[in-house]
Amino acid sequence: MTQVPGKSVRAEQSVGFIGLGKMGLPMALNYLKADIGSLRVTGRSRDRAADALEAGAVWVATPRQLADACSIIIIMVPDMPQVEELLFGRDAVSSSGSSATVVVCSSVSPIGIREVAERLSVATSGRMTIVDAPVSGGTEGAIAATLSIMVGGDIDSVQSVFPVLATFGTPVHLGPLGSGEIAKACNQLIVAATISAISEASVIAERSGLDLEALLSLLQGGYAGSRVLETKKQRIIDGDYTPTGIARYMVKDLGFAAAAASATDTATPVLDVLRASFEGLVSAGLGDLDLAVVHRYIQSLPRD
């Protein structure tokens, strides 16, 4: 499917945002910069929302209060347990009597998002629906509002949230609920394969005495060039693994890809190797570092 034009956000229509971390905060700031509606935010720490509040967002105390005031709620948290807590926990979104479209930008299970959507619909007597809209592009893309946004959901719900998603980057509607999460799993398979190949090639080059910076810059101009190489090149050269995209999250994402492959009877020779590699990386204590730490992991492996 292609991009779906949505209706403009009404001036009186407030958007809510939960999850003002390294990805969520710049996304919220870009929505405010677009000046297409008001924004309410909540979370565990008001301090983390300071930049958004300074830019014009309004703080509310709980997810329920957010839902009371907002017809569109954006959630950007690490995984499904956090999503479920926000939707069904204490003072949660589902305890509001309002109607809302909840947009889950987290990378979660395609099956899980459908189950949660059904649960939310039952809990709210159909007043609340879910759109899945995971993103790709890292913190760089979140800051620059150039994220690729993979959207799944029914057409009416998707149309209603498209103007909001468009302030974060480029949203594309890919099919029914869960389609965005399947697309993100496919995206992560490609990213994992690419960073692994770059890292392995870098170790070979370094140990062969090549100038790594010159080599990677040269490769970026040819068929080996990629967005992953562009954004991770300097980190690999400098050995800078300060986290932007956390490596251990790849384990769950590749697990989602494996589940989708199983459901579609797809052989996965590359995926199988990648899953074992990232599980090994996490077991080696490197999981909380940046995805570029695959380079260090490969350096540490013995030659069989």
Task: Tell me the pairing of strands 135-136 and 128-132.
Answer: unpaired
Residue that the structure tokens 């998002």 belong to: 113
Among 184, 232, 233, 252, which one carries the catalytic annotation?
Answer: 184
184 is an active site residue = yes
Taken in order 133, 136, 138, 139, is the CA torsion positive or negative? negative
The residues carrying an active-site annotation are 184
